[in-house]
Each structure stands twice: as structure tokens, then as C-alpha cells.
Amino acid sequence: MNGSLIWRIVGGVLNVGVVLLVAPLCQGVLRKVTARVQSRQGPPLLQPYFDLLKLLGKEDIESGETPPMQRFAAYLSLATVLTVACLVPMGFVAPMNGVADIILLIYLLTLCGICTLLAGLAAGSTYSLVGASREMMSMITLEPLLAIALIVGAVHTGSFRLDTVLNGSVYETNGVPWSGLIMLVVMILSFQAFVQRVPFDISEAETELMEGPLMEYSGPKLALFKYAQMAKLVIYSALFVRMFVPWGSQFVFPLAGLVFWAMFWAKVLVVVLLVTLVAATHARYRIDQAIRFFASLFAVALGALVLASYGY
Amino acid sequence: MIAREMFEEFKARFGPLIERADLPSDRRLFVFVDRSVVKFVCQHIFRELDARYVASIGTDDRPFSGKFLVAHNFAFDKDHVLCSVLTQLPENDLKIDSITKMVPAASWAEREMRDLLGIEPVGHEYLKRLVLPDGWPEGKHPLRKDVPWNEVPESYNEDNEFKFDETPEGCTVVPFGPFHPTLDEPAHFRLYVEGEMVRGCEYRGFMVHRGIEKLAESVMSYNDIPMLAERICGICGCVHSVAYVQAVEEAAALKPPPRAEYIRTIMLELERLHSHLLWVGLACHIVGFDTLFMQSFRIREPVMWIAEKISGNRKTYAICLIGGVRRDITHDIKAELRVVLDKLESEWRPVVSAVSKDRNIQKRTCGVGVANKLLVKNLGLLGPVARAAGVEIDCRHDHPYAAYDRVEFDVITAQSADVWGRVVVRMNEVFESIKIIRQCLDKMEDGPLQLEIKDELPVGRMGLSSVEAPRGESHHFVITGENNRPRRWRVRAPTYQNLQGVPMMIKDQQIADMTISLGSIDPCFSCTDRLETIDLRSGTTKVWSQKELLELTWAKTKTMTK
């Protein structure tokens, strides 16, 4: 028992540490690749680290209508994301395995969106309120997609355990895993929205809403929010890898484990690159167009859930 | 119909109330009418003869004729005629029938006349202040000749705020401006929003009205003004200097040498090239497609370089003078320009075909910001906005100037009347511009660049000039005057008309479509207000007043010019 507790602590620290360390790097890769696509030089790969440091060192200004809520939203947002990091097996077993299950995971992921909502409400300006309402609308239609994907896995394996479900469980049927394949397509189509990138960065739309909910943020609080968003990209990519392409990244003991661990992160990087390329080659959708798109995906996902419950 | 026939027609219809006419050529008609009949003449021209409304101009003509002068300008695009309906008003009775009811496009021009000259348009239903700042006292009209160009009235009260109309019931207000990342210049659209739908909007602009016309009429001289005119706009400056110069040339019956005309044409088309490429980039940025934004700016850059080679500047070419141009396009530059055009064409073609097939961009632009033929007619909308609605107007074709009568090109139109149509029109116009420049390079004949002008320019003559800017027709009206400067110079930029159409384009659309709808007219406002500084050491905040800022800038200018 003690042994497993130590493993958990080590795993948790490792996951959180790696996410914190890798997230700005992924952002750097994203910016560099975007720049290349756009025939630009682009910032140095390490620029996001410096950006964060710079923001963290700035004066902490209280602004907006309810500054305490604004502060709380920024803290909560990074805290939530890092908690999620402890729930997802990232090359190792999930540190919180057995203590938490996928239901908690779904709740925490929703909480991430709620932080943006809180931020928008705290600012109280028209633009941030519009941003908050857009965030809410897309959250309502978007979150069920991921939940269904997880539940399809749970149905196949008959378990809510993190390491069981987050291990390609969507494919675990006797024949062709129709439901899993459908969910794969659904998730690919909606992935940009989960990580809030173009074409679905609607709630922040710089040219329409001037960053929407984040418009009153500056200095350290903005750094936390930005950090959370970068981490979100990594964590969702990790989730995607664990759910749909887990092969070759299971936890095996020491030496082989290291190779698999590296392979896992390589796959995460590939997902990040794909996100970048899609973002660089699309225009932003309007909220009504996006919602209609999510709604049709939701219908398809429900179909997959029905298939899953019949064992396909 | 030529101008003389039109005049005969007016005379037959309105009889002695048509007082007299100036017919400098077959393509120009200045008709003086009694003020009781202005309204009906304008209605006749606009509705029955189906002319396009261009601009209304008010002038304080008291030092010369003892009266005020009002002109309503119309364009008969198919007949290639520009027509000006003029009337005189006595000093003690500055009232004229408003034509806005019949010609809605005249609304702003009449409000402007009231602000700047105190000419009251009787029957205008919305006489809110348009141009003057909110602190400016009532009853003071800066464009009158007895007001010095640099006067700030004693009673100027900078704390006065603009009063917006009442918010419609059930709507919340989304302020779009005075500063917004998609507006490069200050302008305030107050959107009345229900959920995500825009139900209406009110506009307050003219925040940085620079009084350029007044400055020109009071202190500049004929050949200074092209440089001033060029600074009206940072994108289509050359258009304004050419338009001004042509208006003066027309008034004074001067004809610039052919080589100068070709050079003007080439510069105007280079300007259109860089402007359209810039616009396509910005439009893509507005809908979140930054890759195409970056690419079109990359493709645009060589155009800026070649412009710098020719004129010494990337922008603001300062190439026009009355009677000619200041710089030549040499043999070497010609060759270089051809290379730039070839490269531009080969790089732009794939972009156009990629955008044409992109469903994603079409989704954001089809059916958005619609301005149909009726709106175009009523509000006098211009340029790509009109052409995207299938209205085939293009001054280069309808009222040829410079060397446009010697080159062949197509007027690009679309039928969809929405933002997508404007994208298509602008993208394809790039190829037409390339075509025009190539023809100019081929046909350009050797000769002088500048007409020798020995005598003083005649006084009291009128000149009209319409130049097709990238955004639409730019119209200049000049009355020549004493002291080597015009008596009156009125500039009507295309955005002046197109902006009036924006409230109708965005009504009952989503907020998200507002920016691209506004962007689609390629708006051009112009900058400086207040700023706040914080003293770090004491932590005290100081808000600078407009006056203090002005004094600071004046002091700085003095130290720099020493």
C-alpha cells in the first residue's frame, strides 16, 4: 500500500512537472510552425517561457467588476488543468488511479470551461459577457462529445477506472469497433474546439471580441490563464493519444518504459502539430455555425453510444 | 445624351427657373437654378433620369458674389457626364430644401453643410451634428470665410459629450469603437444588440477631422495642395492628389502632356494593387485566417518596393503637380516593374484559386453584409460594394481621366451583393490593374512630364474630377480663386458614401459579422485624442487634456524645426 502511495506521489509530481515544462514548448512549436506556414521567421522556440516569465513579473493590477472572482478564476483554471494532469496516464499509470474515475475527469474538464465563464463574468464588460455567453453555448454542445467518447470506452470495458478506460478502450469489442471508430472521427473533427484554436476560438475571437473573457486580464493573472491554456493543449492531446492511439505507450517497467514514455510524448507532439496546421489553414466560424456543427456531431456520437451498448 | 442636350431638357421642363448653365465640354454640366426648384430638379435627375448621386457642396461665396453657394453633384455614368446643380442663397436667409427624402444618399452631405457653413436643409429629418466636435459651440461655422483657419472658439467646451439616441427596447449596447482592433482609426459604432443579433446601430465619426479643406483654402497654394491632398489617406493618397490636380486642370482648361497621364495611371494602378492586396489580407485576418493575411502581405511587398524606386516613397508618392508629374518612369524602372508584375501575377493566381474554392471562407462571407442594387442606388454606394451588387460603375470606364481612355480593361462585377462578392471583385481587379499597367508601359510615349504654365490660373472657374480609388469613386470639386489658391475645394472620399450604407448592411446580422461587413467596404477613417500617464514614483495618475497635448506637440514641433 505504502509503495503504491509513493508511486502515486511520484507519478503526480512527474505528470504535473512534465505538463508545466512541456506546455510552453508545445506553444513555441505551434508558433514556429504557424510562422513557417505563413512565410515568417517566427519567434524563438523558447519564447513562450519568456513571455510567461515576463507576465509573471509584472504588476498585479485589479480590474474589471469583481476582481476577487477574476483572481479566483485564474487560479482555478490552472489548478483544474493540473489536477486533470494527475488523472491522465502520461506514459505511466494514472497517478490518481483508483482514487478518481472518469466521471471526475469529465467534471474537471467541464470546470476548465467554467473558469473562462467566470473570467468573463468577472470582467463585466460587454465584450467579455458576449465571450462568456459564447463559451457557455459551445460548452453545452461540446462537452458531451468527450463524455460520450469516455462512456463508450466505459461501456466496452465495463469499468470507470482511469487506466482501463484511458487505454484505447473505445476499440475493445469483439468484432470491428464501429463505435470507437465513429468516436475517433467525431473527436478529430471537434478537437480544435476543445483546445480553443481556430476555427473554433470563437469565445476569444480577437478581431471581434478583443480576447472576450480575458480582456481585463493582465500581468501574473494573465500568465496563469495563458499557462492553463497551453497546458490544456498538452493535456487534451495526451487524452486523445490515450483514448484513440494508445499503442506502444503502455507502462512497462524501467528501461522499456522509458522508450514507451518517449513514444507517448512524440505522439502528443504530432497531435499538437496537427492542431497547428488546421489552425493555420482555416478561418474562424461564427458561433451559430459552430453550434450547428457540434450538434450534428453530437447526434452522431449518440448513435455511437447506442452501437456501443449493443457491443459494436 | 451629352451635356447640352441635358440642359435643353431641363429648360423645357422647368422653364425660367433654370437660370443659366456652364458647359465647358460635352461631359460637364454646371446648371444654375432658382432655389425654389432645386428639390425638383434633383428629384428629376436622380429618379427619372436615373443619375447617380455624387456629393453636395456648400460654399461661402460672400466675398465674391455676396451669397452662399450650394451644389448638388450627380453622375450620368452611361452618358459619361458629370452634372452639378447649383443655387445661390442670400446671406440673411440660409435655408434650402433638403433633398434627402428623394435622395437618401445626400443625408450626410446636408448635415455637413449645416455644421460647417450653417446652411439649413429644410425638411431633413435627422439633423444631428455630424462633423464638428462635441465641444464646438452652436452657431459657429468654421468653413465660412470670416472664420480664421486656426481659430478655436472661446466657448469651446471639451467636456461636452456626444449624446447617443435612445437604445431600442430589449436591446443591449455593444460599443464598437472608438477604438477597436479591427478599426485602424477611431470611429464609434454603437451597436444595439439582442443576444447575438445586431438590431441597429448609431455612428459617430469625424473624431479626427483635420480641416484639410479649410487649410487649403486659407494658407496653401495650388501646388502645395497635391501634397496635402495626398495625406488625406494613408492608402489611396495618390488618388486624392490626382483628383485634385485634375479638378484644377479642368477648371483652368489645362491639358497635361500624355507621358504625365500615363505615369499618373501607372501610379494609380500600383496604388490599387497594394490596396487590394492589403484588403484581402485584412479581410482574412478579420475572419481569423491569418495565414492568408501574411501571404498576401508578402506578395504585396514588391509593389511597395517598386513604388519606392519610382517615387522615393513606399506610400505617399508625391508625384503629382498641376499640369504634370514630378518624376519619370525610366527605362530601367520599366523593366523592373514588368518583372514585379509578372511575379505578382504568378503568385496571386494560386491565392485566388485557393480562396475561390475555400468553403470555410465562403461560409463566413456569403450572405453577409448584403447591399443590394436598391441600397446602392439610394445611398450612392460605390466601388467594389456597388460592383459586387452587379452595378457596373467604374469611373475609369465611365468618366475616363488620365490615360484610361487609351487602355483596355474589364469592369469586374459580381451578383451576390454580399461580402463574398466584394472579395471576388477585389481579387480579380488585381489582374485588371496588372493588365492596365502593362498596356501603359507599352504605349507610353516620350515627351515632357510637365506643362509649362506661364499665366496665372483663371479665377472663379469650377472643376469636377472623379477618380476611381480602390474603394470607389473619389470626387473632388474645385472653384479657382485669387492668391494662387482655390476658393473652395471639396473632397468626397468613397468611404463617405459607403459608411452610410453600413447600418443597413449589418442590421439583423450576428455581431460576428459586423467586423467583416464593415471591413468589406474597406473603411478609411482618419487619429489622436487623450492619453493617460502614470507617474511611477509618486503613483499619481494624470489625464492629459486635449489642450495640454496640443501644446506638447507644438513645443516638440518647434524644437524639431529649429
Inter-chain touch B182–A201, beta carbons under 8 Å? no
CB contact under 8 A, A39 and B298: yes
* One domain for residues B306 and B442: yes
> The C-alpha cell of B458 is what?
483663371
Q: In this structure, what C-alpha cell is assigned to residue A22?
A: 512541456
Mean pLDDT, to the nearest integer, of A17-37?
88
Asked whether the predicted pLDDT for residue B247 surpasses 90, the reply is: yes
Q: Going by C-beta distance under 8 Å and a sequence separation of 6 or more, which residues neighbour residue A158?
A: none
Same domain, B513 and B539: no
Chain A 204-263, residues with CB within 8 Å of chain B CB atoms: 205-208, 210
Whether the per-residue pLDDT at B158 is higher than 70: the answer is yes
pLDDT of residue A41: 87
Residue of B nearest to A279 (CA): B289
Query: What pLDDT score was predicted for residue B529?
Result: 30
**pLDDT of the residue at B439:** 92
Of the two residues B430 and A287, the one the predictor is more confident about is B430
B265-283 pLDDT, tens per residue?
Answer: 999 999 999 999 988 888 8
- Indicate whether B246 and B317 sit together in one domain: yes
What residues in A contact B423, CB-CB < 8 Å? none
Judged by CB atoms closer than 8 Å, whether chains meet at A208 and B364 is answered as no
Residue B528 banded pLDDT, cuts 50, 70, 90 = very low
Q: What is the mean pLDDT of residues B118-130?
A: 88
Q: How confident is the model at residue B305 (pLDDT cuts 50, 70, 90)?
A: very high
Reported confidence tier of residue B531, pLDDT bands at 50, 70, 90:
very low
CA distance B237 to chain A (A): 26
Distance from CA of A251 to the nearest CA of B (A): 40
For B324-348, the DSSP string reads EES----HHHHHHHHHHHHHHHHHH
Give the separation between CA B363 and CA B366, rounded to whole angstroms: 6
CB contact under 8 A, A38 and B364: no
pLDDT given for residue A70 in this prediction: 83
Question: Is A206 in Cβ contact with B181 (below 8 Å)?
Answer: yes
Collect all residues from B whose CB is shorter than 8 A from any CB in A.
172-175, 180-182, 196, 284-291, 293-295, 298, 358, 360-361, 363-364, 510-515
How is the beta sheet containing B28-33 ordered, strand by strand? B18-25, B28-33, B81-90, B67-76, B52-61
Q: Please, which pLDDT band fits residue B264 given cuts at 50, 70 and 90?
A: very high
Q: Across the A/B interface, how many CB contacts are shorter than 8 Å?
A: 80
The answer to whether residues B436 and B382 belong to one domain is yes
Return the percentage of chain B with pLDDT > 70, whole number: 94
pLDDT given for residue B544 in this prediction:
61
Chain A nearest-CA distance from B4, in A, is: 52
Q: Nearest by CB to B295, from A39, A199, A201: name it.
A: A39
Beta bridge partners of B189: B176, B203
Q: What is the pLDDT of residue B557?
A: 77
Q: What is the pLDDT of residues A117-157, one digit of tens each?
A: 888 888 777 777 777 888 888 888 888 888 888 888 888 88
Q: For A44-62, what is the mean pLDDT?
A: 89
**What pLDDT shows up at residue B343?**
92
In a domain, B192, yes or no: no
Tell me the residue range of the domain where A106 lies: 2-309
B318 and B387 in a single domain? The answer is: yes
**Residue that wins the pLDDT comparison between A100 and A241:** A241
Cis-peptide, bond into residue B121, ω within 30° of zero: no
Q: What is the arithmetic mean of pLDDT over B297-301?
A: 90
Indicate yes or no: CB of A207 within 8 angstroms of CB of B515: yes
Cβ of A208 within 8 Å of Cβ of B291? The answer is: no
**pLDDT reported for residue B341:** 93
B562 against B557, higher pLDDT: B557
B-chain residue closest to A282, CA distance: B289
What integer pLDDT is reported at residue B532 of this predicted model?
Answer: 38
- Which of A125, A206, A207, A285 to mutate: most B Cβ within 10 Å? A207
pLDDT at A140: 83
Question: Is the pLDDT score of B526 beyond 70?
Answer: no
How much is the pLDDT for A48?
92
Q: Which residues numbered 11-50 in A keep a CB inside 8 Å of some CB on B?
A: 34, 37-40
Average pLDDT of chain B, as a whole number: 85
pLDDT at B538 over 80: no
Reply yes or no on whether the pLDDT at B453 is more than 90: no
Q: Do B515 and A286 touch (CB under 8 A)?
A: no
Domain identity same for B282 and B158: no
| B131: containing domain | 3-163
CA B283 – CA A254 distance, rounded (Å): 54
From the list A288, A214, A169, the residue with the least C-alpha distance to B363 is: A288
Looking at chain A, the whole-number percentage of residues with pLDDT higher than 90 is 4
Cβ count near B562 (within 10 Å):
5
Pairing state of beta strands B95-97 and B120-122?
Answer: parallel
β strands within B301-432, DSSP E: 320-321, 324-325
Write down the pLDDT at residue B562.
66
pLDDT at residue B542, as a whole number: 59
**Cβ atoms B187, B201 nearer than 8 A:** no
**Whether residue B508 sits in one domain with residue B362:** yes
Among B182, B196, B291, the residue with its CB nearest the CB of A280 is B291
- Quick check: is B7 in a domain? yes
CB contact under 8 A, A284 and B285: no
Q: ipTM score of the complex?
A: 0.73
Q: What is the pLDDT of residues B470-493, one digit of tens each?
A: 888 889 999 998 888 999 998 888
Are B309 and B379 within one domain? Answer: yes
Beta-carbon contacts of residue B59 (< 8 Å; ≥ 6 apart): B68, B69, B70, B71, B117, B479, B487, B488
A309 touches B: beta carbon within 8 Å: no
Q: Is residue B110 in a domain?
A: yes
Q: How confident is the model at residue B115 (pLDDT cuts 50, 70, 90)?
A: confident
Which residues of chain A from 99 to 138 reach within 8 Å of chain B, CB to CB?
126-127, 130, 133-134
For B361, the closest of A39, A280, A283 (CB atoms) is: A283
Residue B200 domain flag: no
Same structural domain for residues B295 and B338?
yes
Strands (E), B219-274: none
Nearest CA in chain A to B360: A283
In the predicted structure, residue B407 carries a pLDDT above the cut 70:
yes
Comparison of pLDDT for B540 and B16, the residue scoring more? B16
Give SS3 for B355. Answer: helix
Predicted local confidence at residue B191, as pLDDT: 83
Q: Is A281 within 8 Å of chain B by CB?
A: yes
- Tell me the mean pLDDT in the region A188-208: 75
Place of cell 425638383: B40
* Amino acid present at B334: K
Could B287 and A198 be called an inter-chain contact, meaning their C-beta atoms sit closer than 8 Å?
no
Query: Is the domain of B322 the same as that of B441?
Result: yes
Residue of A nearest to B358 (CA): A282
Residue B182: the pLDDT is 65
For range B11-34, the mean pLDDT: 88
Domain tally for chain B? 3
pLDDT at B432: 92
pLDDT at B541: 54
Residue B543's pLDDT is what?
61
Residue type, A192: Q
- CATH number of the domain bearing residue B121: 3.30.460.80
Q: Which residue of B has its CA nearest to A128?
A: B174
Same domain, B236 and B287: yes
Contact call for B287 and A284, based on CB within 8 A = yes
| pLDDT score of B257 | 93
The enclosing domain of B297 has a CATH number of 1.10.645.10
With beta carbons under 8 A apart, name residues in chain B contacting A134.
196
Grid cell for residue B428: 480579380
Cβ contacts of B184 on chain A, cutoff 8 Å: none
What is the structure's pLDDT at B336? 92
Q: What is the dihedral of CA B490, B496, B497, B498, to 10 degrees?
A: 150
Confidence of residue B339 (pLDDT cuts 50, 70, 90): very high
Cβ–Cβ gap A208/B512 under 8 Å: yes
- Can you tell me the mean pLDDT for B119-130? 87
Residue type for position A215: M
Residue B63 lies in a domain: yes
User: Which of A38, A133, A208 faces B295 most closely, judged by CB atoms?
Assistant: A38
State how many domains chain A has: 1
Contact B285 A207 (CB under 8 A): yes
* % of residues, chain B, pLDDT over 90: 25
In this predicted structure, the answer to whether residue A97 has a pLDDT above a threshold of 80 is: no
CB contact under 8 A, B288 and A201: yes
Kindly state whether residues B157 and B260 are assigned to the same domain.
no
Q: Which residues contact B270 (CB under 8 A, 6 or more apart)?
A: B303, B306, B307, B310, B433, B437
Contact B511 A202 (CB under 8 A): no
Inform me whether the pLDDT recorded for B295 exceeds 50.
yes
Which residue does chain B place closest to A211, by CA atoms? B181
Q: Does the pLDDT value for residue B461 go beyond 50?
A: yes
Q: Is the pLDDT of residue A291 over 80?
A: yes
